[in-house]
Amino acid sequence: MRIIERVTEMQQQAESWRREGRRIALVPTMGYLHEGHLTLMREARNHGDEIVVSIFVNPTQFGPGEDYERYPRDMPRDELLAREVGVTVVFAPSAREMYPDRYQTFVEVMEVTQPLCGRSRPVHFRGVTTVVAKLFNIVKPHAAVFGEKDFQQLTVIRRMVEDLNMDVQIIGHPIVREEDGLAMSSRNAYLTGNQREVALSLSRALGEAEKMVHGGERRGAIILDAVRSQLSSGGELRIDYAELCDPDTLESVTEIRGPTLLALAAFVGHTRLIDNRVLPG
């Protein structure tokens, strides 16, 4: 496994693979890898001959007062884990390498970035789409794998790829959870023991909503009331949003008439966590 830190070196390697007829699969990450990331890397092996994992804590997707500076980082451990699952290259550029002096270009997707996380993190998705577009130009992947835990992010990336005619196959992978049901996230490292127990309210709320739909409930307001009640019972938890949406457009829905995204975001202490489930129609 190689570690590449320079953009030009990564582009040259990608061009070499393409000339040889090798298929490239990319897994973009911000590092501090966990089993969820490793699962994406294993999935990438089904879609490419050469697997590239980017490790880059992207400053442009963090707003003022967010956790860019304290976001967990452990490059030696990340490199070891990536090597163990058969990654070909870890692309780990610096912020200056990705955003050199006088950098001034951004990619912005409009409608699907507005609801959910877009309301409370107004600069977030512009940073995400910009860095992913740059990664596609640098790594030149045939396919890229993203986790469905960041469902809105996946929707936004798919919209960008379609709108800009990017020749990249976007693959979504189901949420990977801890044994107790907590969705795997690098930010879980912030949680104390008691906060982790509180955080389980998110997965429990999703389970309660799914149970209600299976029982015949279709009214969105009733389902969301039960979800918010479950979240509020968790103690040290503040709800950012709990919403039912069309899984393709992310437009709000009031009645379950087909597959419907239930998206949650909440603060446990100072840690913001997200989770979701597509409820059956």
Residues designated as active site: 37
- Two tokens, residue 94: 């610096």
d(CA 171, CA 141): 12
Q: Tell me the CA end-to-end span of the chain in Å, nearest whole number.
A: 45
- Cα 54 → chain centroid: 13
β-strand 50-55 against 24-29: which pairing, if any? parallel
Round to whole Å and give the CA distance between 148 and 248.
13
Enumerate the β-bridge partners of residue 183.
177
**Quick one: DSSP state of residue 221?**
H
In whole angstroms, give the CA distance from residue 95 to residue 125.
Answer: 18
φ and ψ of 245, to 5 deg: -140, 155
- Which stretches of the chain are DSSP H helices? 7-19, 35-44, 75-84, 95-98, 117-120, 124-139, 151-163, 193-214, 220-232
Residues 260/206, Cβ–Cβ less than 8 Å: no
Structure tokens at 278: 């597509």
Instruction: Provide Rg for the chain, Cα atoms.
Output: 19
Distance between CA 108 and CA 106 in Å, rounded? 6
